[in-house]
Amino acid sequence: MVCMGNICRSPTAHGVLEKLAADAGLARRVLVDSAGTHDYHVGAPPDHRAQQHAARRGYDLSAQRARHLTRRDFAEFDLVLVMDGANERAARALCPPAEAHKLRRLTDFCTRHAAREVPDPYYGGAAGFEQVLDLVEDACAGLLAALDG
């Protein structure tokens, strides 16, 4: 999971997918991590608002720490899922050509929402964090269904 600073959207998606995979008995098959395209917050925990909103829905983000996306991520993971177009462009610039097929938008897996991007809630209010959770839950459920199929 990749967003800009790795403190809001990608940790939320990381926490949601990890829990949904565990609940589905897929924890051994689905390895989840998150990173940022910028190194603004490396080592920092997720934004306290992201943690609070996620916790209300049963997701624990507290153990996560921000890190920077690297070329190695494209070799280690089967999918590198970005939150928006800016993240996609930054990730694509870092991605080795042979791994380009692994780069997708998380919203490609949405089944109930038509959003193309997961909006950045960092400068917004509570509604933005809830919108992120709605989109991420939908996309992660869709991703697990696609993997199961």
Question: Which of 3, 8, 95, 110 is labelled catalytic?
Answer: 3
Question: Which of 9, 47, 73, 95 is labelled catalytic?
Answer: 9
Q: Tell me whether residue 3 is one of the annotated catalytic residues.
A: yes
Q: Tell me whether residue 57 is one of the annotated catalytic residues.
A: no
Asked whether 66 and 43 are in contact (CB, 8 A), the reply is: yes
Residue 23: which residues within 8 A CB-CB, separation 6 or more? Answer: none
Question: Which of 73, 84, 120, 138 is labelled catalytic?
Answer: 120
Give the three-state DSSP class for 82: strand
Residue 8: name the closest of 146, 126, 147, 140 by CA: 126
Residue 52: name the closest of 139, 140, 134, 126 by CA: 126
Element (H, E) at 53: helix 48-56
Q: Tell me whether residue 120 is one of the annotated catalytic residues.
A: yes
Q: Which residues are catalytic?
A: 3, 9, 120
